[in-house]
Each structure stands twice: as structure tokens, then as C-alpha cells.
Structure 1
Amino acid sequence: MVKSENFSQNTQFANYEKWFNQEIQVGLLDQAAEAKLIPGKKALQNIKNFCKEQLNSNV
């Protein structure tokens, strides 16, 4: 039972990670089209903050 739950959680995380990476790519393309790109360090901080917010809201 534990193995199937872990597999399910891993699958859900992999799906979320794939979706999230696609959202980042689309967002970067949108920003590039509008000439609104932000520095890499700021983008990484934004991603970290977003992930923390998602984890906190799902608890």
C-alpha cells in the first residue's frame, strides 16, 4: 500500500513539475515578446517563493 501511495505522489509531482516547467516557458516567451524579461536571480527567487506558497497552501 505504501509503495502505491509513493508512486502516486511521485507521479503527481512529475506531472506538476512538467506543467510548471511549461508554464515557465510560456511566461518567459510572453515576457520576451513584451520586452519585460527580469534578471535570472530575480526569476529564481520568484520561482522559490511561488513553490513555497504552493506548498503552504496545500498543507
Structure 2
Amino acid sequence: MTQMTRSAVGGRLSDDKRKAIALQALARTESIRVLAERNGVSGPTVKMKTCMSRG
């Protein structure tokens, strides 16, 4: 999946899905790259959602 495609998918995530991704990233049970690939979003998207969830 290309970067542009992943970004487009990231813009269509539900709030619940975004929160779930952020919680998984905060838990650090797997790398950001793996988490991003599994959810069809970019690594920066995962990092941004993680930072946003920290307040």
C-alpha cells in the first residue's frame, strides 16, 4: 500500500478505531510500523493519534 493510500484510509477511520490504535501504540506491545501496517495507516498517523491521546 502506498503512503498516499494509507493516508486516505487514515482519514476514514472511526473514532473508536483511532482510539484503539492509540491505546495499542501507548501499550507498546508491538512496533509502530507493525501496528500501522496491520491497520492500513501510516506510521506518522499512529504517532499523531498517540500524541493526541496523551493530551
Which TM-score applies when normalising by structure 1?
Answer: 0.32
Greater gyration radius: 1
Q: Which has the higher contact order (CA 8 A, sep 6+)?
A: 2
Which TM-score applies when normalising by structure 2?
Answer: 0.34
User: Which protein has the bigger helix share?
Assistant: 1
